[in-house]
A = this chain, B = another copy of it.
Amino acid sequence: MLMKVVKFGGSSLANATQVRKVVEIVKADDQRRFVVVSAPGKRWSDDIKVTDLLIDYANRVIAAKPIADITDAIISRYQDIATAFHISTDQFAPIKQAILSLPDQTYQDNDYLMATFKAHGERLNALLFAQILAQEGVKAKYLDPHDAGILVTDHPNDAEIIPDSYAQIGEWTDSDIVRVIPGFFGYNLQGQICTFSRGGSDITGAIMARGVSADRYENFTDVNAIYAANPSVVTNPIAIHHMTFREMRELSYAGFSVFHDEALIPAIEGNIEVVVKNTNHPGERGTSITAAKRINPAYPVSGIASSPNFCGIYIRKYMLDKKAFSQKILHILSEYGLTYEHMPSGIDDLTVIMRQDQLTDDLEDRLIRELVIALKPDEIHITHDYALLMVVGEGMRNRTGLMSKATDALARQNVKLVMVNQGASEISMMFGIQQDKANAAIQALYETFFPEL
């Protein structure tokens, strides 16, 4: 029998109405053997996610502030769902107790405290959802990441999977029980809870899928598919029904936030098909992400995205020794703990493109001063508020004329190109533009590359 790992995001589990949809999805397909859940998300646009309530709770405990209202708020989120599904008070008691007793455990330090508090958003939701499934007649059991075998590195709030985990996870396949696993966290070798980076339930799903060698990893969220451009910028963009891992990776980099970046790694390693689907419209085809290239795609471009808040440090020095120059720059960036995205070089000049949220005014001043001392440049200046615009598509390989189409579309919108980078990736073009032009640029590129057929 085919086997699927299914993951439901926070909006899919925000309230009883949503949870009902999830129950039906799990019931509808008995290949769905492993269910990974997020913490309950927002019920309306200015609602607070349970994870954020838990972070607030942890910070109050650390600061020794009153906590009664926040524990009440957290408990009621689970209680509302439990009540709707006729979960008894007795059954619910351990969940309530777990929330209240979080401050009573001992933690190595505040980082571990924070990790454990946060992880309980998913943990208790999985406990509750396993009860609900059972109540609804599904043979289901909670599976803790500890028992599942999800071992992670010793970084309490930014852990990574330890590859040995997969063999252990692989032993959970031989059963007719639906296992409900909380996303977002694992255990280090000392048995302490460590979470992945924020949004890490996608990662848990991918890890489980790889571990049990699933045939498919279904990632349920609140969109019908991944679109060729952001629907809040382009009206009715076309859905991408099939894309490759590399396309997904390049698009997520530039702001497609549908699927967590790090979650792609286990999927790629295990060559597991990832399908993004909508909890609210499970009959929609969604977007399938695989290693295989599309045959004869209708368009050479798959998607267009942009990401704001980059800055560029322009450095010019006559007859610079490029190797020594780059090495000095990389060394200084390392000293300051800064990462860079691109470093295009001209004959006698070089621009360091980086995310500007890494820099405070003070840090920026110090960085520039240090670069001046180390490089003695003829000219140096920093420009803020760039957006990086990405045009991505496997169909772009070996195609002539796409750069011309793209730059022509941008020129017609008077978008000044502060950077053009093509040639490293074979499936994308990257443009640096002023970020206040980003939406106009995306609209122009969309019209160019997705004309009505």
Chain A residues within CB distance 8 Å of chain B: 246, 249-250, 253, 261-262, 264-265, 268, 312, 314, 318-319, 322-323, 326-327, 330, 333-334, 339-351, 398, 400-401, 403-404, 407-408, 410-411, 414-426, 428-430, 432
Contacts and interface: CB of A to CB of B under 8 A. Distances in A.
Given A326-B326, A347-B428, 6 more contacts: A345-B421, A350-B424, A400-B415, A403-B411, A418-B423, A419-B422
A222 to B, nearest CB: 26
Contacts of A345: 341-343, 421, 424
Contacts of A326: 326, 330, 343
Given A340-B322, A344-B344, A348-B246, A423 B416 contact: no
B318 A340 contact: no
User: Which one of A341, A347, A411 has the greatest number of beta carbons of chain B within 10 Å?
Assistant: A347
Contacts of A348: 246, 249-250, 425
Contact of A404 (B265, B398, B407, B422): B407
Nearest to A315: B424
A250 B425 CA distance: 26
**CB-CB nearest 3 A-B residue pairs:** A419-B423, A346-B425, A346-B424
B403 A407 contact: yes
A425 B246 CA distance: 30
Contacts of A350: 424
Q: Within the oligomer, what is the number of copies of this chain?
A: 2
A420 B418 contact: no
Mostly helix, strand, loop or mixed at chain A's interface? mixed
A244 to B, nearest CB: 12
A303 to B, nearest CB: 13
A246 B342 CA distance: 24
Contacts of A428: 346-347
A416 B404 contact: no
B344 A421 contact: yes
A302 to B, nearest CB: 14
B330 A323 contact: yes
A422 B401 CA distance: 17
User: Which one of A246, A419, A423 has the greatest number of beta carbons of chain B within 10 Å?
Assistant: A423
A347 B253 contact: yes
A424 B350 CA distance: 5
A431 to B, nearest CB: 9
Contacts of A403: 407, 411, 417, 420
A246 B317 CA distance: 11
A318 B407 CA distance: 28
A246 B268 CA distance: 47
Nearest to A408: B404
Contact of A351 (B339, B398, B408, B424): B424
A349 B427 CA distance: 11
12 contacts: A249-B318, A249-B347, A253-B347, A323-B330, A326-B330, A326-B343, A341-B345, A343-B345, A344-B422, A348-B425, A404-B407, A420-B429
